[in-house]
């Protein structure tokens, strides 16, 4: 069988590797950090930095296609890899989604609604942006933020200096606070030949910036549900995308507002493992290897619950729950705020 190169060795890479293995593929993980969760299940692991040219070359030569579970891959690494194997999703998807300013500008150019935003470079530009956007608002680093890291809320203009200091000099954007009733996401896929398939939107609950639960079905009207899927399809087509994409949306009285896109399998799509015949991980593997997409039809109601930090204490109790599927990531060390696994609570429909 052929070999899939996966950049990033976290739980997403691990679950991609398992799905790939079920379809007869081998996976080669490239991950700078030691003891990656994906390394326990993949065929081969390279532990090397993203600026290690020799390691990148060996990796690229050993695989038939390259994908990733992590969007912050340096451009210099992609420059080396792109001559060695096809990279799916492509570089445009990475370029757009690596930077919140580029991402929001791209979404606006598609005619999609986003929070009002402004590029922040210093105290003056922040003051001007606060004048236009007002408070409450959120200052976010343009790059590298995840799980709510690199964000500071500005409740009143007096908070501006402290919020700017939190950015530690990193380029940032100010976003107006969106008054949403709830949050949903769409996990959708596009194949090499341009076919698009979407899973049913999930409803997401975050606390302290981290996803806690995803519930399907989401509370959406039929027209909101189709709007959500159409937004995802529009993004996929605009990027000539190949693979699975996550689109996070705010539900408001003024319609759906796009929060952000993730050019990869997404935490809010983990429910598909126990709610669909073909889950998001297999769907992604199918797309990047040129297979036809699977059917994303949902056959159960699901509540996906992340197991974060000390939630791991509940594992033995959860293991005796009927209709609960456990997914653990094999991480050596439990830390507060670290995603250790998730469970899917199923109700057959």
Detail the residues annotated as belonging to a binding site.
100, 140, 145-151, 175-178, 183, 206, 259-260
Nearer CB in complex with ligand ATP: 200/248: 248
Kindly report whether the peptide bond that precedes residue 89 is cis, defined as omega within 30 degrees of 0. yes
Binding-residue pattern over the window 256 to 295 for Mg ion, x denoting contact by CB under 5 A: ----x-----------------------------------
Binding-residue pattern over the window 215 to 254 for Mg ion, x denoting contact by CB under 5 A: ---------------------------------x------
Residue 174: partners with Cβ closer than 8 Å, 6 or more residues away:
117, 118, 120, 126, 129, 130, 133, 137, 138, 139, 154
- Binding partner of 52, given ligand ATP, Mg ion, none, CB within 5-8 angstroms per partner class: none
Q: Give which of 237, 289, 249 is closest to 5, Cα–Cα.
A: 289
Q: How far apart are CA 36 and CA 218, in angstroms?
A: 33
Q: Measured from the CB of residue 76, what is the shortest distance to ligand ATP in angstroms?
A: 23
Q: Measured from the CB of residue 337, what is the shortest distance to ligand ATP in angstroms?
A: 11
- Binding partner of 206, given Mg ion, ligand ATP, none, CB within 5-8 angstroms per partner class: ligand ATP
Nearer CB in complex with ligand ATP: 92/147: 147
Q: Measured from the CB of residue 158, what is the shortest distance to ligand ATP in angstroms?
A: 20
Q: Measured from the CB of residue 114, what is the shortest distance to ligand ATP in angstroms?
A: 9
Handedness of CA 115, 120, 126, 132 (dihedral sign): negative
- Chain residues binding ligand ATP by CB under 6 A are 115, 138, 145-149, 175, 177-178, 183, 206, 209, 248, 259-260
* Site size with Mg ion, rule: CB under 5 A: 2
SS3 category, 229: helix
The torsion angles phi and psi of 132, rounded to 5 degrees, stand at -75, -45
Q: How far apart are CA 73 and CA 198, in angstroms?
A: 26
Q: Which residues of 189-222 are buried (b: 16+ CB within 10 A; e: fewer)?
A: bbbbeeebbbbbbbbbeeeeebbebbbbebebee
User: Which alpha helices (DSSP H) does 188-244 contain, by range?
Assistant: 222-238
- Which residue ranges are tagged as binding site for ATP? 100, 140, 145-151, 175-178, 183, 206, 259-260
Interface ranges with Mg ion (CB under 5 A): 248, 260
């Amino acid at each position: 069988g052929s070999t899939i190169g996966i950049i990033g060795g976290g739980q997403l890479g691990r679950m991609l590797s398992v799905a790939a293995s079920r379809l007869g593929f081998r996976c080669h993980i490239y991950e700078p950090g030691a003891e990656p969760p994906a390394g326990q299940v993949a065929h081969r692991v390279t532990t090397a930095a993203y600026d290690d040219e020799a390691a990148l070359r060996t990796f690229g030569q050993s695989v038939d296609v390259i994908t990733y579970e992590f969007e912050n891959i340096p451009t210099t690494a992609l420059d080396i890899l792109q001559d060695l194997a096809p990279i799916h999703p492509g570089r445009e998807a990475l370029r757009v989604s690596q930077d919140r300013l580029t991402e929001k500008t791209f979404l606006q150019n598609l005619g999609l609604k986003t929070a009002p935003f402004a590029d922040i470079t210093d105290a003056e530009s922040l003051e001007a942006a606060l004048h236009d956007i007002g408070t409450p608002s959120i200052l976010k680093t343009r790059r590298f933020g995840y799980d709510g890291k690199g964000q500071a809320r500005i409740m009143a203009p007096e908070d501006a200096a402290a919020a700017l200091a939190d950015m530690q000099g990193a380029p940032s954007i100010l976003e107006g606070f969106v008054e949403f009733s709830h949050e949903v996401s769409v996990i959708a896929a596009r194949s090499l030949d341009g076919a698009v398939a979407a899973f049913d939107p999930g409803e997401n609950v975050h606390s302290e910036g981290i996803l806690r639960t995803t519930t399907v079905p989401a509370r959406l009207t039929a027209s909101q549900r189709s709007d959500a899927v159409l937004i995802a399809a529009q993004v996929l087509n605009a990027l000539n995308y190949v693979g699975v994409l996550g689109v996070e949306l705010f539900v408001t009285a003024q319609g759906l507002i796009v929060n952000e896109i993730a050019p990869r399998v997404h935490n809010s799509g983990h429910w598909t493992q126990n709610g669909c015949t073909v889950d998001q991980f297999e769907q992604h593997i199918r797309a990047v290897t040129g297979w036809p997409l699977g059917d994303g039809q949902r056959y159960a109601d699901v509540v996906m619950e992340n197991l974060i930090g000390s939630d791991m204490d509940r594992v033995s109790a959860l293991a005796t729950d009927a209709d609960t599927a456990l997914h653990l990531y094999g991480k050596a060390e439990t830390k507060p705020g670290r995603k250790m696994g998730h469970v899917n609570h199923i109700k057959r429909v």
